[in-house]
Structures are given as C-alpha cells and as structure tokens.
Amino acid sequence: MNVFRFILQNHDQVLELTLEHLRLVGLSTLFAMLIGIPLGILIAHRPRFNKPVLASANIIQTIPSLALFGFLLPVPWLGDRADRLAILALTLYALLPIIRNTYTGIRGVDPAVMEAGRGMGLTESQLLFQVQLPLAVSVILSGVRVAVVISVGLATIAAAIGAGGLGEFIFRGLAMVDDRVILAGAIPAALMALLADFSVGWLERRLQPQ
Amino acid sequence: MPTSELRAYATIWQRITDCALCPGTPVCWADMPPASETPVIEFRDVSYRIADTQVLSGFNLQVQRGETVVLLGRSGSGKTTSLKLVNRLLTASSGEIQVNGVSNAEVDLIRLRRGIGYVIQDVGLFPHFTIERNIGLVPKIEAWPQDRIRTRVQELLQMVALAPEIGLRYPHQLSGGQRQRVGVARALAADPEILLMDEPFGALDPLTRDELQREFLLLQQRLHKTVLFVTHDLREALRLGSRIALMEAGRLVTVLAPGEFLGSTDPLASAYVRAFGGDLESAAKRGAL
C-alpha cells in the first residue's frame, strides 16, 4: 500500500516525530500524575475542596484544545517554546481523569478497613501509604490510562502551534490533500494509543489488590 | 464426635477445673483485683451530641481490671458511640473518659489507640496483606524485630485456634469465622490491656458464633483483659459479661450481673428477658461453655 511505502521512505522523520510525540505525552502525563494524584488525595480527605477542584478540572476539559493552545500562546516563558506550551495544555487535559479516579479509588476503600486501621492506632500517613494508596492503585491507574489515551490524540493538535509530534504529518497531509501523509501521522498515533492503553492496563491488573 | 474433638473438650475442662483457689466455679476469679482499685476505663458524666441529635447523655460507667462489661441495648441506644469514645474515634461533647486514671483526651492519640485492642463486626482486615501481615502490623509499626513479630504471630494464631499456614493466606480466602478470629488476634497483637469489641460475633452464623463465644471465654480466663463489649444479643451478654450495662436512648439504664439480670424488676431488663424467651438461665451461668 502507498501509505506504508510512504512511511518506509520517510522512516527517519516518522521515527523522529513519534519520539517527539512520546515526549509530549510522557512528560505531560508525568506532570499530570504529580499534580493530579496529590490533588485527588487532598479532596478525598478534605471534602470541602472537592467541588472547586473537580469543577475546575471539568471546565478545563470543556475548553476546545485548539483554543487552549491559542490562549496560552501569549503567556511569557511558556509561549517562547511551543513544546512547553503543548506539555502544559496536555497536562491540564490529563488532570481530570487522574484527579477523579484518585478520589474515587481512595473513597472506595472499605470504611471498615479504615475504621479498623484508625482504631489500631495507624497515623493518617500510615493509613494513606499502607492502606489507601495500595488499595486504590488500580483505580488510579485506570484514570492514568484514560489520560494517556486522550493525550496521544490531543498531542496531534499540538502540531498546529509548532510543537511537533505526529500531528505534523496530519496537518501537512491536510494542506497537501494527501491521504498518505495524513495516515503516516494517524497510524503511528493510533498504535501508540493502543499500546499505551494495553501496557497501563496490564500494569493496572498486575497491581490490583486481591 | 471425633476423638480429637473430645480431647480438646477434655483439655478445656481441665483448664477450667484446675483453679485451686475457687473449686467448683467455672470461672477463676482468684487473681481479680479488688474493685476499689482505679478503674481501667471510667466514663464521667459523658455526653455526645452530633448536629441536633443527643446520642449519649450523662453516661457514667466504671470498668474494672480484668472484667468484661457488656453494653447491651438496641440500635441507636448509644452503645457503639460509647465504645468509640474510649479510643477517641469520637470525641465527647462534654464529660471525660479516664483510662487508667488519666483523661484520654490528654494522652497522645496514637499511643492511646495502640494500647487498646479494637475488634469490629466487619473485622476490617487489610485485603492486600496476608493474615500474617495483618496480625503483625501494629508490632511492625512499633518497630519490633522481625523474628519477634513472627513468633508473636504464630503464638496468636494458635491462641485463636487457627492453623499456622493460615498466616500465608489473604483475607478473602478465609471464612467469616476465621476472619473474625484473625480480627481478635490482630487486636491482641501488641498485648493491649484493654479490648473494645463492637458486636464482633454479630455477623456470624449461630454455630460459628457459639464457637467463638466459647473461645472468647477461654481466652479471657487466660489473658484477663479489660473488655468493653457491645451487643444487642441478651444471650451473648449473659454468657460473656461479668456485668451488663443496659442502655436505652443514649442513657445508661442499669448495670447488673448476669445472674441478677434475669430476676431484675427493671421494666427494660424484664422486657429483654421476655423477648429472648426461655432457657436464658443456662446462658447466665457465666462461663457456660
């Protein structure tokens, strides 16, 4: 098929853009986990922060991605480099599923287990690290999985602001009205999403408490 | 009946009749201190209010060293609340609870709780830990050496009549009765002086419940813990309690020894006796196995 010939002929560039794409998705997911998991823990323990935090994450989710990239463009330092900006935007989008699943996972721990743990004299941090997080880990990871899959797709749009990644092929193909070029971006992106879904899913099952 | 079981009963009987100081009585009171000693747990005019609901009011009760006081009452009578006030899972609105003569509000919360064993109806074993780790958790966070924890866990498994290999299993692989045995073993792990038990046998089938009640009595003869025990089952209260504290609508109605309970003229006590019907006398022979 033409597409595969095109990919083979341009394999250097496909590889380079795939790696760029991976970097955007990887870094943004990492940041989203670093922010989202503690926030999820916080709102699971302090219910009054629950509404504002989840509402903010929800609102971010409703902003069209292209518009968000555009809004962030004039921000100093961030706007200097397109990839910084893309990583920030992708991080923001990944927050909601991670925060929500962390919250759900922690709240889902059997109240009897928590009561017994408190009654035995575990400190709040012992309860968190030895009981709540290990029991919530698979729910949290399923949030991460959703976030990664969304990010792989959204990261293609980051090419619109020059952040690179597989979206470059897609936009170029659109401009050239050449399906081969579009697919050269879309196919690796789809494969990446599937692979991420599968591997995080595998990890999720591995870490599922009995 | 298989011989092994007969032998087990024989040993049990031996242990009971062994007490030289008080021959003929099923329970050994010989090493019970006189009641004048500082009570291990003392409620002093305790009230607990949440929002507009008065859950507990003017509650006074003393629990002496080595006795099992059963809080008996219907749902919502405030018995669980009283229990949770002792290890400060709840905080009294007024009054104070003394543990060994010191207000429990002045003791470090974590220290207080680690010195009190806590057993609840739903057990609350950590599903991601093996039985061994469940039982050994408090010793572990108290930084006992590994081999001492292992020895202690084995000792406790034996104490609650569980096979040593159970230690390697996970909670979901155990039956309800086994899980509650583990719950008791876990509460005893760091050898606390006090045990708080909130309907520990309430969710078990009648045969298993009977078995665990009997084992509880045997364990108590050996360990002489100070126990505060919540139940709504009069039969259980008569069988396990040294004294029964009858509660209703957040108030303590009366405190009676099991023997006095059946003949009591208190309207609530006699209502209980009527509701539970005949054959309570045998249960009231405290320590009836």
Q: Examine the pLDDT at B9 and tell me if it is beyond 60.
A: no
Strand (E) or helix (H) holding A149: helix A133-155
Residue A209, min C-alpha distance to chain B (Å):
5
Asked if residues B166 and B157 have their Cβ atoms less than 8 Å apart, the reply is yes
Q: Which residue has the tokens 């999985």?
A: A145
Q: What are phi and psi of A173, to 5 degrees?
A: -60, -40
Distance (Å, rounded) from C-alpha B235 to C-alpha B26?
Answer: 18
To the nearest whole percent, how much of chain A has pLDDT over 90?
78
- Residue of A45 and A75 predicted with greater confidence: A45
Q: Examine the pLDDT at B16 and tell me if it is beyond 50.
A: no
Which residue in chain B has the smallest CA separation from A118? Answer: B89
Q: What are phi and psi of B54, to 5 degrees?
A: -90, 105
Instruction: Report CB contact under 8 Å: B127, A209.
Output: yes
Instruction: Report CB contact under 8 Å: A116, B87.
Output: no
Smallest Cα–Cα separation from B73: which of B236, B257, B231, B240? B231
Q: Examine the pLDDT at B1 and tell me if it is beyond 60.
A: no
First to last CA, chain A: 47
Asked if residues B227 and B217 have their Cβ atoms less than 8 Å apart, the reply is no
Q: Which residue has the tokens 């009760």?
A: B61
pLDDT on residue B129: 95
Instruction: Report CB contact under 8 Å: A121, B123.
Output: no
> Quick one: DSSP state of residue B34?
P
Q: Does A131 touch chain B (CB under 8 A)?
A: yes
State the average pLDDT over residues B53-77: 94
Q: Which residue has the tokens 């002086």?
A: B193
pTM of the predicted model, to two decimals?
Answer: 0.83
Asked if residues A43 and A99 have their Cβ atoms less than 8 Å apart, the reply is yes
Of A122-126, A179-183, B46-50, B284-288, which range is least confident?
Answer: B284-288
Q: Cα dihedral angle (A131, A135, A139, A144), rounded to 10 degrees?
A: 60
Q: How confident is the model at residue B28 (pLDDT cuts 50, 70, 90)?
A: very low
Which candidate from B122, B138, B170 shows the least CB-CB separation from A121? B138
Of A110, A114, A120, A129, which to mutate for an interface test with B (greatest number of B Cβ within 10 Å)? Answer: A120
Q: How confident is the model at residue B285 (pLDDT cuts 50, 70, 90)?
A: low
Of B99, B123, B126, which to mutate for an interface test with A (greatest number of A Cβ within 10 Å)? Answer: B126
Q: What are phi and psi of B97, to 5 degrees?
A: -115, 125
Which candidate from B114, B120, B141 shows the least CB-CB separation from A116? B120
Distance (Å, rounded) from C-alpha B110 to C-alpha A120?
Answer: 8
pLDDT tens for residues A70-97?
888 888 887 778 889 999 999 999 999 9
State the average pLDDT over residues A99-113: 96
> Quick one: DSSP state of residue B39?
P
pLDDT tens for residues A12-30?
999 999 999 999 999 999 9
Strand (E) or helix (H) holding B188: helix B176-188
Q: What is the DSSP string of A76-140?
A: TTTTTSHHHHHHHHHHHHHHHHHHHHHHHHHHTS-HHHHHHHHHTT--HHHIIIIIIHHHHHHHH
State the average pLDDT over residues B133-141: 95
pLDDT on residue B29: 45
**Residues of B whose CB is below 8 A from A115:** 89, 120, 124
pLDDT tens for residues B92-110?
999 999 999 999 999 999 9
Q: Cα–Cα distances in Å, from A94 out to A25, B119, B161, B209?
A: 10, 42, 51, 50
How many Cα atoms occupy the beta-carbon half-sphere of B176 within 13 Å? 14
Q: Examine the pLDDT at B278 and tell me if it is beyond 90.
A: no
pLDDT on residue B283: 66
Smallest Cα–Cα separation from A196: which of A153, A156, A162? A153
For chain B, the domains span: 1-31
Distance (Å, rounded) from C-alpha A14 to C-alpha A10?
Answer: 6
Q: Assign B93 to helix, strand or coil.
A: coil
Q: Which of residues 51-80 of A touch B (CB under 8 A)?
A: none
Quote the tokens at residue B203: 């969710």
State the average pLDDT over residues A122-135: 95
pLDDT on residue B289: 56
Q: Examine the pLDDT at A201 and tell me if it is beyond 80.
A: yes
Asked if residues B188 and B159 have their Cβ atoms less than 8 Å apart, the reply is yes
Of A19-33, A110-124, B151-165, B252-266, which range is least confident?
Answer: B252-266
Q: Cα–Cα distances in Å, from B244 out to A101, B62, B252?
A: 47, 12, 11
Q: Does B111 touch chain A (CB under 8 A)?
A: yes
Smallest Cα–Cα separation from A95: which of A66, A55, A155, A131? A55
Q: Examine the pLDDT at B15 and tell me if it is beyond 70.
A: no
Which residue in chain B has the smallest CA separation from A124? Answer: B110
Q: What are phi and psi of B45, to 5 degrees?
A: 50, 50
Q: Kindly provide the ipTM of the predicted complex, given to two decimals.
A: 0.81
Which residue in chain B has the smallest CA separation from A207? Answer: B128
pLDDT on residue B124: 94
Distance (Å, rounded) from C-alpha B289 to C-alpha B278?
Answer: 18
pLDDT on residue B51: 87
Asked if residues A83 and A72 have their Cβ atoms less than 8 Å apart, the reply is no
Q: Does B179 touch chain A (CB under 8 A)?
A: no
Residue A105, min C-alpha distance to chain B (Å):
14
pLDDT on residue B7: 55
pLDDT on residue A161: 87
> Quick one: DSSP state of residue A63?
S
Question: What's the mean per-residue pLDDT of chain B?
Answer: 87
**Residues of A whose CB is below 8 A from B111:** 121
Q: Which of residues 190-209 of A touch B (CB under 8 A)?
A: 209
Asked if residues A87 and A28 have their Cβ atoms less than 8 Å apart, the reply is yes
pLDDT on residue A77: 83
pLDDT tens for residues B125-134?
999 999 999 9
Q: How confident is the model at residue B185 (pLDDT cuts 50, 70, 90)?
A: very high
